[in-house]
Structure 1
């Protein structure tokens, strides 16, 4: 292949690679279905809560992340243009969480669920 034909092909492949995403949370968690409790704890750590009901055992794991939130860019502007002498407030941190719950029957993961703004 000539160099002039190879360059557009490489650019297209690079663009496709940039769009590629890793596995979703559902895909990552579904690998635990059918595995034992010890495998789950080895991978995710000790659960924060456990509960047993109707022959099932529920294990809940918590994940917390601190996210940096920048101040809005429009803040230094008023209705008549820029506000001179105004400094935008510094960025701040917020805590985002994701709670994972696994249901086990006969010591094997049967299903899972999750909730929170940091899941994904």
Structure 2
């Protein structure tokens, strides 16, 4: 029991450091794989473009996240019968984050990839 208690801080530190693979690491697993493997894993691309003997497949991910509303406003402002002290509660809102991932295909195999967006 005492040994378990001694190990708790180490286990907590280890758990805090545990993170999944980065986006670069996840996408790099597709390099060298076939276009069919890519589509099977990510779904049908949003756009396809061909240039200089390569195909470019664009995949798009979107997610909606809550945005913390600003603090309520308590201030001086015009009222219906003259100046008054007002309180306007803040309204919660959401934001849409996008991540575009483009894969370059040459000879039927993934050659490179790029990504951009605030949701990556």
State the TM-score, normalizing by the size of structure 2.
Answer: 0.83
Listed one character per residue, the Cα deviations across residues 70-105 of structure 1 (whole Å, up to 9, x for unaligned) are: 2123x3455xxxxx8735322111111000000011
Please state whether the residue corresponding to 2:87 is helix, strand or coil.
coil
1:39-54 map, 5 Å = 39-54=37-52
State the TM-score, normalizing by the size of structure 1.
Answer: 0.83
What is the Cα deviation at residue 12 of structure 1? 1.3
Please say which of residues 8-17 and 45-54 is displaced more in the overlay: 8-17
Please state whether the residue corresponding to 1:117 is helix, strand or coil.
coil
TM-aligned CA distance change 1:56 to 1:72, over 3 Å? same
1:1-120 map, 5 Å = 3-73=1-71, 75-76=72-73, 86=87, 88-119=89-120
Unpaired stretches in structure 1, ≥5 consecutive residues: 79-83
Q: How many residues align?
A: 112
Distance in 1 between residues matched to 2:54 and 2:5, nearest whole Å: 58
Distance in 1 between residues matched to 2:9 and 2:70, nearest whole Å: 35
Which structure has the greater CA radius of gyration? 2
Distance in 1 between residues matched to 2:24 and 2:10, nearest whole Å: 29
